[in-house]
């Protein structure tokens, strides 16, 4: 059986420091005996593709037939150029010579770009294929809730129309977040076949011999202190303000030290606010494949999200996966539908953005014995290995498709 996966940003590992989720699923589909083809583009700003004049570039990687399209590039993620790059990808998809790919029995269209579902529906009708519409970010809800767009903005209205179209025409809707089915019912007014396939990991990237080798952060972290770490962006949607205030509250506690790594629009402002604090260090953004080494050196890990309707349907963040793999206790300022951390009993969700509550949560874990803290962290690693390996996620994905296809 042939599976065709289409996503603008699903970079293969030879052109990206970190293989995309859909690529890893394709690899596992192939391991399960399916013939997998991936259509993607070269405009992923995390990837480095060869400079070529060819629009359609065919390769075989890890037994996957890959076709990556040369498309319009962009620099800023929140820009007109990015939207134009979406349309450029869609236009070139429709010009693809379909004789060069295997006739698909199953088509998986994974956002973003959400517009690709139109091409997916075209292929569904042409080949009488089973169509899966996969949602990794809820658009346009993310635009209105976190991007500041009016619900009457022309782009919001257009994307909303495409979203509804995709939900109606797909044979199965897949979401990386656990309660997307509620959102789908809110949009359509009725239920659709749904499957949750969250973000996972490939254990090859987390071998013990890799993590126990020379750590580039060995000489950067202070000694004999409990390290609270944060790795990620520092922008408006990351809602780090309570964390910054908590660092100030704990500046006289000589046992606790904070390490933040990443970049973002608010980083300079945060550094300015904490310039008189001696309990914090800001490190520059690091490569994705270096994050695990940073996390390994921390004792407690922190993350936060903006209080937004988007999170009512649950989260599936790479950051949570990375944190749990690091085998460290996690504190999350998160007001949405809880999952993973609470299921694994590896930390605490704080249902408020109050910095005093965050301070109390940090001190609670700091005051645990080393053995207790280690046990909490190991709960997360054990749970993530049992539930989030892509080999397992791919089997569940295919099982749901086969069920809906009545195979």
CATH number, domain at 159? 3.40.50.2000
**Rounded distance between C-alpha atoms, residue 281 and residue 221, angstroms:** 9
Q: How many independent structural domains does the chain possess?
A: 2
Q: Name the percent of the chain lying above pLDDT 70.
A: 97
Domain co-membership, 271 together with 312: yes
1-22: string of b/e by CB count within 10 Å (b at 16+)?
bbbbbbbbbbbbbebbebbbbb
pLDDT of residue 384: 97
The SS3 of residue 196 is strand
Mean pLDDT for the stretch of residues 228-249: 94
Confidence category of residue 75, pLDDT binned at 50, 70, 90: low
Strand 300-304 to 280-283 pairing: unpaired
Residues 212 and 246 in one domain: yes
Run of H or E residues at 374:
helix 370-387
Co-location of 293 and 365 in the same domain: yes
In this prediction, residue 83 has a pLDDT band, given cuts at 50, 70 and 90, of: confident
Q: What is the pLDDT of residues 381-394, one digit of tens each?
A: 999 999 999 999 99
For residues 333 and 260, membership in a common domain is answered with yes
User: Nearest 5°: CA angle at 192, between 191 and 193?
Assistant: 130
74 is in which domain, residue-wise? 2-200+389-404
Q: How many whole angstroms separate alpha carbon 302 and alpha carbon 307? A: 16
Collapsed DSSP state (helix, strand, coil) of residue 381: helix
Same domain, 158 and 220: no
Comparing 50 with 3, the larger pLDDT belongs to 3
Residues 56 and 44 placed together within one structural domain of the fold = yes
Same domain, 139 and 85: yes
Residues 86 and 166 in one domain: yes
Co-location of 135 and 146 in the same domain: yes
Name the token pair of 304: 């936060």
Q: What is the mean pLDDT of residues 32-54?
A: 87
Q: How confident is the model at residue 46 (pLDDT cuts 50, 70, 90)?
A: low
Question: Do 249 and 159 fall within a single domain?
Answer: no
State the average pLDDT over residues 147-173. Answer: 96
Checking if the pLDDT of 34 tops 60, the result is yes
The pLDDT of residue 80 is above 90: no
pLDDT in tens, 290-337: 899 999 999 999 999 998 999 999 998 999 999 999 999 999 999 999
Residues 212, 175 share a domain: no
Is residue 113 domain-shared with residue 244, that is, in the same domain? no
């Amino acid at each position: 059986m042939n599976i065709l996966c289409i996503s603008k940003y699903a970079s293969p590992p030879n052109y990206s420091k970190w293989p995309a989720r859909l690529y890893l699923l394709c690899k596992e589909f192939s391991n399960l005996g399916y013939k997998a083809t991936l259509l993607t583009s070269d405009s992923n700003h995390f990837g480095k593709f060869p400079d070529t004049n060819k629009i359609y570039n065919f390769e075989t990687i890890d037994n996957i037939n890959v076709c990556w399209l040369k498309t319009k590039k962009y620099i800023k993620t929140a820009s007109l150029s990015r939207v134009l790059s979406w349309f450029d990808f869609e236009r070139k998809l429709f010009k693809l010579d379909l004789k060069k790919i295997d006739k698909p029995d199953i088509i998986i269209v994974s956002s973003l770009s959400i517009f690709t579902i139109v091409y997916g529906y075209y292929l569904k009708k042409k080949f009488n294929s089973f169509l899966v519409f996969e949602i990794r970010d809820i658009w346009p809800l993310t635009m209105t809730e976190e991007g500041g767009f009016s619900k009457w903005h022309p782009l919001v209205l257009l994307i909303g129309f495409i979203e509804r179209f995709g939900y109606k025409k797909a044979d199965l809707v897949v979401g990386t977040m656990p309660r997307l089915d509620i959102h789908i019912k809110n949009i359509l007014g009725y239920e659709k076949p749904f499957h949750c396939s969250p973000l996972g990991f490939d254990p090859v990237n987390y071998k013990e011999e890799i993590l126990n080798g020379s750590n580039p952060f060995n000489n950067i972290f202070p000694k004999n202190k409990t390290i609270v770490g944060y790795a990620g962006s520092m922008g408006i949607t990351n809602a780090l303000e309570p964390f910054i205030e908590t660092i100030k509250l704990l500046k006289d506690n000589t046992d606790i030290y904070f390490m933040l790594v990443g970049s973002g629009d608010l980083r300079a402002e945060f550094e300015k606010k904490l310039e008189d604090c001696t309990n914090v260090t800001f490190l520059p953004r690091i490569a994705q494949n270096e994050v695990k080494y940073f996390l390994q050196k921390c004792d407690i890990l922190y993350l936060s999200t903006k209080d937004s309707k988007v999170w009512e349907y649950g989260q599936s963040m790479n950051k949570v996966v990375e944190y749990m793999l690091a085998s460290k206790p996690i504190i999350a300022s998160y007001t949405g539908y809880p999952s993973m951390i609470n299921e694994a009993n590896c930390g605490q969700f704080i249902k408020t953005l109050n910095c005093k509550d965050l301070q109390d949560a940090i001190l609670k874990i700091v005051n645990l014995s080393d053995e207790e803290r280690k046990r909490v962290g190991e709960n997360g690693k054990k749970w993530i290995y049992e539930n989030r390996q892509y080999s397992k996620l791919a089997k569940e994905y295919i099982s749901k498709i086969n069920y809906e296809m009545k195979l």
